[in-house]
Structure 1
């Protein structure tokens, strides 16, 4: 069955998607654990990914997606993957990438150093070669760059994924999953606006289908409330409300209030109308919201996320009087003192949160109220 794995990385991101056919897709990768610090509770991400791929007898991943180039989404990622553009990133301990997904700003951004520059060079190399890459954007955005490289524009158009379309790499009939691109927005790019990592990062809706039952995941870059509002407005304008539905929502910006609205609030952040619609109208019964972040503070008003006011909103809407689902924080799961990967399995009952205990056994600790047409969600701890 399909499976989602979110790793405890403090305010950083990595999500591993396992599809029914054995395909492995990694959205972002930020290995920031201080191995010399015994008090650093973040997971050793490199070991976790290596162990998973080795157990599956894989020397590659089907997709590595970089939603945007901020360090909390790419830190040390060039140390584990085989890169095509330079031999210094090629040895037997590395995992090859069948297809690299990037937003157009990864190709176009100048003045980059360190990890972000490495990935820009890799993306440019693959685009020049005309294979092993998907660029999320209208093709015309990169016309001048392609022409400056002496490349035939039309011969690269098939490598681009426009907002409002499906990524052609996967489909529900063959792979049990499809990826619908919400961002970056064609309207911004057409208007010639200056690209911004967060505004023009990758944001997708993933639809899994198991035994005829669809389960939907929202996943992407660190979008603020203006980006999420635009996603709602544009999708509604085109009459596609089903593309806003979700059963699992990976929060952008590590539970920042700025992904809900302009004002943090005192006890609870109040979302702008479009974001309220996204969560409260399009969230499905039993929906799970995942905050890839540090533990939520109980008091105070921290400048940096996670913000308790935003968390209070998510807790309320997923609670008994709302979706009757769950709000999970990666560095709090299953407990703050010993965080472990958050695993969500997808089957004919939709999304189930699963955690194995140390003995390898499993204990049922509760069940959410069943959705219409489905069974209960069992949580194993």
Structure 2
């Protein structure tokens, strides 16, 4: 009997950057991050032309709007070229035929803070901060994750000018420990539990806002009654993950740490496993709660690193910037311990002619990888390293 419900997940090969897409069985689409590289626009380039690739996918599906565009993190490697691709409501310069509409924009609260909105060092940052503010004041089309005091104060002042109450936009905010209201298992076959950003409530009654943290979700898919779990991360680092695991366990929400698919943070940086300076010679020893998170993986699970290839050679062990071979070894060990299937790297799992996304299908039979390139078709790790320089992860390079 054919599957009635099939969800799809795609991870795009965009160097040390992030772009992924959820395509739900009901046709809804969520795009997480956007890292277009201009090098992919040349006809003879092996690099993916992200704008053209996504536009064709949407055109083929008869769509000119996505239900969600989520910016998990505000570094350029998460939003390069996005303001040229999407239709932004707040200014005519970001509008016009051929642009892709966004039903709901998801952003971490930090993007709306005044000190970041005026940061001219990020050419892509300002339009998205302004777009989020525009939608927030309009009262629709945006979801803000967390609500630090600084933002609450700014918003109250703006709403007062509009003769609106301070809580009139509360429905547009979601906090750690809450489900995202736009989706549900019953309606969409998917629900998202928010892990980050979060506020750390201390025993002395004080609160430490951790709004620098990226968006992080536990995503549960349901297909004909079969559930599949995923951890979807931005650039979360080890200390934040430690807090998330501890807090989730304290609230007895351990099931929201389970995963069949893990989109690991920060392009396989060791900093998602341990603190600065603790990379290790051969492997990175994860912090205790990070190790527990890895142990929550299920048999058959996959880990995906959105990054350059990760060769196992002397140069790789000395590399300062991610991806780090020491981190890869740790993730591979974790998969071995839980009976996982594979550690996949977006810039390794492609063909020599043109880079293609890593794709998964979620159905009543669980998680299945699709479109697997043969060993002879794959770009070798050495070839990718030769053809790509490795800029600092999170840099402003827009090649």
TM-score (norm 1): 0.88
Q: In the alignment, which of 124, 131, 135 is matched to residue 122 of structure 1?
A: 131
Superposed CA deviations along residues 272-312 of structure 1, whole A, max 9, x for unmatched, are 110100001x1011110000000003223100000001111
Tell me: higher relative CO, structure 1 or 2? Use CA pairs within 8 A at least 6 residues apart: 2
- In structure 2, the CA distance between the partners of 1:286 and 1:33, relative to structure 1 (3 Å rule), is farther
Task: Report the equivalent of 1:283.
Answer: 297
- The one of 9, 17, 36 equivalent to 1:4 is 9
Is the Cα contact below 8 Å between 1:105 and 1:195 reproduced in 2? no
2:334 corresponds in structure 1 to 317
Match of 2:58 in 1: 53
Q: Which residue of 1 aligns with 2:344?
A: 328
The more displaced of 262-271 and 164-173 is 262-271
Q: How many angstroms does 1:42 deviate by?
A: 2.9
Question: Is 1:66 aligned to 2:66, yes or no?
Answer: no
Q: Give 1:138 shift.
A: 3.6
Q: TM-score w.r.t. structure 2 length?
A: 0.84
Q: CA deviation at 1:112?
A: 1.9
| 224-233 vs 334-343, greater mean Cα deviation | 334-343
Q: Secondary structure at the match of 1:61?
A: strand
3-state SS, counterpart of residue 11 of structure 1: coil
Deviations 1:228-271 (A, max 9, x none): 11110110110110010011000101000110112111111110
How many angstroms apart in 1 are the aligned matches of 2:372 and 2:96?
34
Residues 302, 344 of structure 2: 8 Å contact kept: yes
Report the count of equivalent residues.
354
Could you tell me which residue of structure 1 aligns to residue 392 of structure 2?
A: none
Task: Name the structure 2 match of 1:265.
Answer: 280
1:234 equivalent in structure 2: 247
Match 1:344 to one of 348, 360, 368: 360
Note the residue ranges of structure 1 that are not aligned, 5 or more in a row.
Answer: 359-381
- Cα distance between partner residues in 2 of 1:227 and 1:277: 14
CA RMSD of aligned residues (A): 2.1
**Gapped runs of 5+ residues in structure 2?**
1-5, 375-399
Paired position in structure 1 for 2:223: 210
